[in-house]
Structure 1
């Protein structure tokens, strides 16, 4: 029980590390929270800091979702305990303890969590995102469609109730964090991939 609590707290603290803010600071770039959309994520860093900074941010965000889940599994956690570790890492990105509880939208970290749970779940979510984004030419649309189908992929591949519920919670939180994107999609004003907003 104590080990499970430690791993859950550690997952949240790892998830709270803002790769975007750290990367921009190390590379001498503007704080992403003061640029563009104000979101500390790879897409906004790409706009304000370029491809190198965006790739580093994307990789870091993915790893901070992946690593806590893999560590939890190495310690033998499964079911509810593993689900709580996965959710803690995701929540850390959305509500980081080190940055006033104002974090990113969670797409890359969520993908890292899914890859940690099972590679096939992560790949299914990634392929879903690529297809939806490719067809719509809207990145946020890809993220929303992938989030919608993620609980289904978890249920089909893992068949675990608690992990499926975690997928549902992540989906709801992603919808919430993308609310402004949803409004722009409905209004037809959401930027297309490859075009400046």
Structure 2
């Protein structure tokens, strides 16, 4: 299941959606990140939503199948990490992938709707306040282990491991934030219009 999760994670939603819709490949534009955020900047809202759903499913499906096979909670976390590693270091694309946020969220949906609701609410509130997708992801994953500790404490360790992976993956974003060079996805000074000119 770990191998299957990694292969599932290695599928690029951004590339598949851009090919099917005859759009620009986000890996060649914007931040060059093959994820939903850069897809939004490059090709707009609907293609970005399709990528978001695709990337969530490739994390959700391996974890769900593993859950049905009665695999222990700790190894469910390892399988989730394998799916995220596939997205971050895809074997099909020279090991150059995205940040893994959507795939990680998809893999954690099995924890429950209460956890998913808290996580998504945290992400939305942070992005509305700051305008930065990266800040929203970092804060959401920082709080994820705390949320899961109150809901399903036996999953705290695997969720913490997954959160560490995603936060480490955002090291370059943290550097740009410190320098004031990180682009915003939501520009509150322009009546909250999405900025896709980056």
Normalised by the size of structure 1, how large is the TM-score? 0.88
Counterpart position of 1:87: 81
Which of 53, 59, 67 aligns to 1:65? It is 59
Counterpart position of 1:172: 164
Counterpart position of 2:178: 186
CA distance in structure 1 between the aligned counterparts of 2:73 and 2:31, rounded to whole angstroms: 37
Relative contact order, higher structure (CA 8 A, sep 6+): 2
Counterpart position of 2:30: 36
The 8 Å contact of residues 77 and 162 in structure 2, kept in 1 or not, is answered as no
CA distance in structure 2 between the aligned counterparts of 1:93 and 1:190, rounded to whole angstroms: 22
Quote the offset at 1:101 in angstroms.
Answer: 1.4
CA distance in structure 1 between the aligned counterparts of 2:70 and 2:159, rounded to whole angstroms: 20
| 4+ runs deviating over 4 angstroms | none
Aligned length: 189
CA distance in structure 1 between the aligned counterparts of 2:113 and 2:91, rounded to whole angstroms: 28
Which of 128, 152, 155 aligns to 2:122? It is 128
1:100 aligns with 2:94: yes
The 8 Å contact of residues 123 and 137 in structure 2, kept in 1 or not, is answered as yes
Counterpart position of 1:4: none
SS in 1 for 2:33: coil
Normalised by the size of structure 2, how large is the TM-score? 0.88
Quote the offset at 1:169 in angstroms.
Answer: 2.4
SS in 2 for 1:97: coil
SS in 1 for 2:153: coil
Quote the offset at 1:188 in angstroms.
Answer: 2.8
SS in 2 for 1:98: coil
Which stretches in structure 2 are left out of the alignment for 5+ residues? 187-193
CA distance in structure 2 between the aligned counterparts of 1:164 and 1:92, rounded to whole angstroms: 22
Which stretches in structure 1 are left out of the alignment for 5+ residues? 1-6
